[in-house]
Amino acid sequence: MGFIAGRTVNDRLELDAEIYDDHAFGVPLHTTTLDTGGRYKFSPSFIALFMAGRSVNGISDGRPEFFGYVGLQILLSDYGRSLNTAPSK
């Protein structure tokens, strides 16, 4: 369960902030996490995704305190036979 708020900075860049509580049923431990991230549109076919976050309830159980990712989303059209050429909405 969590909350996210975001803002479009310009036509290519979107930034977001998120706080959420990660809890699996049947497991007594949970993690509250605060992170920021976004999306950068290189073209209609290629979008960079990035995020960096931190656990806000400590690492007393040995889990990582800081984490993040960077990825590339590739959008295809025509049943995967070509790159997407339509601008995303």
- Tell me: the pLDDT tens digits for 38-49? 999 999 899 999
Res. 89 pLDDT band, cuts 50 70 90: low
> Who has greater pLDDT, 21 or 36?
36
> Who has greater pLDDT, 50 or 59?
50
Task: Provide the percentage of residues in the chain whose pLDDT is more than 70.
Answer: 82
Integer CA distances (angstroms), 47 to 8, 13, 31, 40, 86, in order: 14, 10, 29, 6, 13
Mean pLDDT of all residues belonging to the chain: 84
Nearest residue to 18 (alpha-carbon basis) of 43, 1, 41: 1
